[in-house]
A and B are shown apart, each in its own frame.
Chain A
Amino acid sequence: MPVNFMPTGTDYFRLLPEIIMTIAGTLIMLIEGWLGDNKKRNLSALTFVAFAAALVAAVAANASPGLSFSNMFIVDGFATFFRVLVIAVGILSLFSAVQYLKREHAESAEYYALLLFSVTGQCIMATANELIMIFIGLEISSIATYILAGYLRDDKRNNEAALKYFLLGSFATAFLLYGIAWIYGTTGSTNLATIRVALLAPGSDRILAGTAAALMFVGFAFKVSAAPFQIWAPDVYQGAPAPVTLFMSAGPKAAAFAVFLRVFMTAFAPITNRWEPFVWSSALLTMIIGNFAALMQTNIKRLLAYSSIAHAGYVMVAIAAHNQIGVAAAMFYLAAYALMNIGAFAVITHFSRQGEKYVNIEDLAGLGWKQPVTAGLFAIFLLSLIGVPLTGGFFGKFYIFKAALDANLVWLAILGLLNSAVAAYYYLRILVVMYMNEPGEATMSIQPVGAGIGATLWVAAVGTLLLGIFPGVLLNFASSSSALVK
């Protein structure tokens, strides 16, 4: 059968969000030279328009699901879910970044272009249907994020974060690439569906495939900051500019989980019994390391970094359950987690002030009485991170542990939920400082919340509560699209 390599209109339509964002990113870099310094702010508006258009295109593409560009991409509910999620994360992080860059006197076009490219990479990861595309998407997203992490190049902390992230990230990506090579050697294909068929065939070499899965697991576990490959996360989260940390902890993580889920639930589904114990132990280890290390932190960015590790552990529980509910639970949780985490980091972006002076937990003392609204919204995010009912965080956790019990992982569920009781302690400490301590110097000198961060906060808070009180809509979408993964 002759293969037709000429893409059709439908091919382009299905990939329109990525195309829009790539063009916008390139345009921004080109026109920067022509813009005067005082007009650079307009670039953020252009970025926003590009994101909004990509969001519309992603939703529209869902109306014509199917394969694209010679089976390299697949548009289905699962892909749409993650595309919408990462683009929304991009928009929310843009809101906070605009204000932050102005404060640090670092407004320039690169930030917006890199943000667009990073989200493009994540969208490619969400839609990729074969390993090479996954790798390309991952690299586009990662390289852009490495640079973002070191964006304020005169700041020592930024440099350290970027360098660490880059070196360790490249190392992990090499593992992923090595795994891809193995699986290509074993099955003769990089297409997920073909790999699955090849592994299902009798006589297929499961040991080689298992090794490939293990190598790719290293790559993915690094990207989602799952133990034992989580070491980089605290340093990078702490060192990177606050709005970049906000972005990193939500977008790239969600996209990495999307490919993790897709690869392990489709291509490697035939060898589930081989990888399940690894994911199981990694999930438990991730939760324990994240939560117990967070107990001892004094820097709030670092604390949230460990909390982010712990939350990755909860999602790993859903993967370990390797059933359809598990996939839906992971999707729901990543959305809820993105909202509450973005909210929390937006508060920190606002509070830290120029040069990120105030990033210790103690600095927040008395915020609850000085800025009741900001603190109230922060309290909602923290309660959601604890997993108190009527917030998205609770429902996500509930759904994940339900999936685990469905898969008979009773001990993992019990240990996981006890872990979340441990986690309550360090989130409560922030609440204690905010509401039960007398205001300190940092709180007294605080300025009102700007429009950008204010918008991020309100959207995230309303979203968190909506997901907690009416989870039905998102949950139904997640459940119906989780079926498509296989």
Chain B
Amino acid sequence: MTLLDVIIYLPLLAFLIILALPKDNPKVIRVFSLIASLVIFLLSLGLIAPVWTSAAGKFALERNDTWIQTPAINYHVGLDGISLWLVILSTLLTPLCVLVSWKSIDKHIKQFFAFLLLLEFGLVGVFCALDFFLFFVFWEVSLVPMYFLIGIWGHERRIYSAIKFFLYTMAGSALMLVAMIYLYNQAGTFDYNRILAGLQSGAISLSSTEQLWLFLGFFIAFAIKVPLFPLHTWLPDAHVEAPTAGSVMLASVMLKMGTYGLLRFCVPLFPNAARECAGWITVLAIIGIVYGALVAMVQPNMKKLVAYSSVSHLGFVVLGIFSFTQQGFDGAVYQMLAHGVSTGALFLLVGFLYERRHSLDIAVYGGVATAAPWLSTVFMITMLASIGLPMLCNFIGEYLVLQGTSLVNFRWTVFAALGVILSACYMLWLYQRVFFGKASEDLTHHMPDLHFREYAVIVPLILLMVWMGTYTQSFIPPISASNAVLLGPIDARREIHVRVTSPQNQPPNRSVLAAQGELANAR
């Protein structure tokens, strides 16, 4: 029993305990959920040290036990630098979501918190699974609680959105399952490490057509989840209709399941197919960046605006991954985390506004800054982080992605950078319409400033935004090390290319700075 096992199973245990609690005492349920999720979060911090000290290319806290003998399915979990932070992001946001739902969820309280913990179980599991089958199990398990969170506690069109969300993911995962089983039939195992090693050494040989189809099988499932343009249409619906906690978990963690899958499975397993498709995927990512930003600009609904901004931000992640450069990969992962923190915070803040005025319409607001200065301040910081202001988290990710892309194709960088500018437009405009201007008397009356529970939710995230934006070294070394390993098979050609032009080449395991040096050499 490793610490990782504890962190995977504690949410499940908490879920079962909440189900067993009596439903007529909401306070007990809330306090228990908070304590349980906080304990899980604090324990998960203990995962950092083992990952940090583990050797490159190795998974920390690995555990590999037989689950089912035939077909050989193992309970195989482990952490590397990428999954580490995503797990901690999930465990951090769960207690915050419990806090934000403290009063705003007033019916079926027991089931709500139970589903929240079950969701955490699925999310943590997805990022730790190193067996395809296990990955698929967690992938689908996380779907069910989210479906109920949207469908039961959402707004008016919640049922439509919940079903749409479920069916989109289900259709994608059907294709992924076919690809997984096909891969199993070729490799004789579901084990990620063994399949990866087999494919790289040539022990498992796939024709280029097979590679392409398998790549697409996985890719469509992940692209739906990211979501990549034009598969994004479920996202605005799901976000707008979900309760605040649902939106936060969806935007901050669930979308990352898609980009994580691309990074962990799609690209390293099928490098040739990934290279072949990189062109049109990059184009789709850039369309997503620009289109998401443009559509966000004209939204009259705050949540929808933030949802479309997610489409735009996640486009950067895909762009970074399909640049196949160390910077691009690092930037993609950093952007995943930064988006998790900043967009999560945005949804929380929109939730705060909604609790006060019971409306998501931008037009209803105006002049909030006079009524609630602290709320306006934290919203300002979060919004600036989301825009990508230097010293705040998103900047690092977007910068690295753009730099990585520029190594491959400078024109792409120009188009993608448009997204950064547009994000400033829609965010600042949103801020102006909601917070500035003259406040009506009615609004001032209904707009108290932040109270203690809300401070407790938002302040940790604000601190994290600043920390991630200023002291990158606290986060990026394990990410870089793991990315270098994932980049190995696909970066091979670039290595050769660089070696020709530059005699003083760097070894493959490079940090960002080293890679930049190499770039200078190459030129």
What is the interface of chain A, defined by CB distance below 8 A to chain B? 369, 372, 383, 386, 388-390, 394, 398-399, 401-402, 405-406, 410, 413-414, 417-418, 420-421, 424-425, 428-429, 431-432, 435-436, 470-472, 475-476, 479
Contact = CB atoms under 8 A, between A and B. Distances in A.
Contacts, number: 85
B175 interface: yes
Given A476-B69, A479-B70, A436 B174 contact: no
Contacts of A420: 170, 174
Given A388-B140, A389-B140, A479-B70, A436 B181 contact: no
Interface in B126-175: 136-137, 140-141, 143-144, 147-148, 151-152, 158-159, 162-163, 166-167, 170-171, 174-175
Given A388-B144, A425-B167, A432-B163, A401 B137 contact: no
B190 to A, nearest CB: 11
A435 B152 contact: yes
B184 interface: yes
A423 B30 CA distance: 36
Contacts of B147: 428, 431
A405 B69 contact: no
Closest 5 CB pairs of A and B: A417-B174, A389-B137, A421-B171, A421-B170, A389-B140
Interface residues of B, number: 33
16 contacts: A388-B144, A394-B140, A401-B178, A405-B178, A405-B181, A418-B171, A421-B167, A424-B166, A428-B147, A428-B163, A429-B163, A436-B151, A436-B159, A471-B68, A472-B69, A476-B70
Nearest to B137: A389
B68 A418 contact: no
Given A369-B108, A476-B69, A383 B144 contact: yes
A424 B167 contact: yes
A406 B184 CA distance: 10
A417 B175 contact: yes
B80 to A, nearest CB: 24
B178 A389 contact: no
| Residue from A406, A420, A424 having most chain B Cβ neighbours under 10 A | A424
B167 A402 contact: no
B185 interface: yes
Given A432-B162, A436-B158, A417 B152 contact: no
Interface string B249-293: 000000000000000000000000000000000000000000000
Contacts of B68: 470-472, 475
B177 interface: yes
Nearest to A479: B70
B163 A402 contact: no
A413 B137 contact: no
Contact of A435 (B148, B167, B184): B148
Given A428-B166, A431-B147, A435-B148, 8 more contacts: A394-B140, A398-B177, A417-B175, A424-B167, A432-B163, A472-B69, A475-B70, A476-B70
Nearest to A436: B151
Nearest to A432: B159
Nearest to B153: A436
Nearest to B173: A421
Contact of A389 (B70, B141, B167, B182): B141
B50 interface: no
